[in-house]
Amino acid sequence: MREATQHHSRSKTYSGRFLRPHKPWLTDLIGQLGIKSALDYGCGKGAQYSWVDPLDGLTLEQAWGFEVAKFDPCWPEFAELPQGQFDLVICTHTLGSIPTRDLPWVIERLHRMTRKAVFIAEKIGPIKKGVHGDRKGFVNDWGVIDWLDVIAPHVREGVETHLSVVYKSPHGKFTGRFLLQ
Which pLDDT band, with edges at 50, 70 and 90, does 173 fall under? confident
Q: DSSP state, 117? A: E
Q: Where are the alpha helices (DSSP H) in 21-102?
A: 23-33, 60-64
CB 44 within 8 A of CB 72: yes
Mean pLDDT score, 33-57: 95
Mean pLDDT score, 66-76: 95
Residue 161 to residue 167: CA distance in whole angstroms: 20
Confidence check: pLDDT of 132 > 70: no
Residue 161 to residue 122: CA distance in whole angstroms: 13
Which pLDDT band, with edges at 50, 70 and 90, does 133 fall under? low
For position 124, what pLDDT does the model report?
85
What order of strands is seen across the sheet that includes strand 114-123?
69-71, 38-41, 86-92, 114-123, 160-169, 172-180
For position 69, what pLDDT does the model report?
98
For position 135, what pLDDT does the model report?
66
Confidence check: pLDDT of 7 > 50: no
Burial 134-168 (b: 16+ CB within 10 A, else e): eeeebbeebeeeebeebbeebeeeebbbbbbbbee
For position 63, what pLDDT does the model report?
97
For the entire predicted model, the pTM comes to 0.88
For position 125, what pLDDT does the model report?
76
Mean pLDDT score, 47-73: 96
For position 167, what pLDDT does the model report?
81
Mean pLDDT score, 148-174: 91
Confidence check: pLDDT of 100 > 80: yes
Number of other CB atoms surrounding residue 49 within 10 Å: 17
Mean pLDDT of the chain: 88
Number of other CB atoms surrounding residue 24 within 10 Å: 12
Q: How far is CA 128 from the centre of its chain?
A: 17
